[in-house]
């Protein structure tokens, strides 16, 4: 699966994109966040703000949204365009 990061989150994590196989036991966005937060203190902090938004295959989704191995998941802070 592909995971994209945007805005301040991308900058904090130092990466805009991860390609990885769907981790064992990860069925939804909430599971994925828990998994990614294990990486280190920075990931723990940046993914734990409670204000992050998420999209699955370019459609907004909540933490309960199911994900599969071919999916494109995006994580980003509240938007500030216009």
Partner 1 sequence: MISISVQIEDFDVGREYRQLQAGNTEVGGIAVFTGLVRDLADNPLAAMQLEHYPGMTEASLQQTAAQATARWPLIDIRIVHRIGKLTPGEQIVFVGVSSAHRAAAFGACEFIMDVLKTSAPFWKKELHRDGRGHWVEAKDSDQQRAERWNNED
- Other Cβ atoms less than 10 A from the Cβ of 1: the count is 18
| Closer residue to partner 1, CB minimum distance, 21 or 81 | 81
Q: Sheet harboring 59-60: ordered strands across?
A: 17-19, 2-5, 72-76, 53-56, 59-60
The verdict on 4 binding partner 1 (CB under 8 A) reads yes
Find how far residue 44's CA is from the centre of its chain. 12
The verdict on 6 binding partner 1 (CB under 8 A) reads yes
The verdict on 8 binding partner 1 (CB under 8 A) reads yes
| Closer residue to partner 1, CB minimum distance, 43 or 76 | 76
Residue 38 CA to residue 16 CA, distance in Å, equals: 18
Site for partner 1 in 51-80 (CB under 8 A): 55, 58-60, 74, 76-80
| Closer residue to partner 1, CB minimum distance, 11 or 63 | 11
């Amino acid at each position: 699966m592909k995971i994209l990061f945007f805005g301040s989150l991308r900058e904090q994590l130092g990466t805009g994109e991860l390609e990885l196989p769907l981790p064992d036991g990860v069925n939804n966005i909430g599971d994925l966040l828990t998994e990614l937060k294990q990486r280190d203190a920075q990931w723990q902090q940046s993914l734990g703000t409670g204000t992050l938004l998420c999209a699955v295959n370019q459609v907004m989704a909540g933490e309960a949204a199911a994900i599969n191995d071919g999916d494109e998941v995006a994580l980003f802070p509240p938007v500030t365009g216009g």
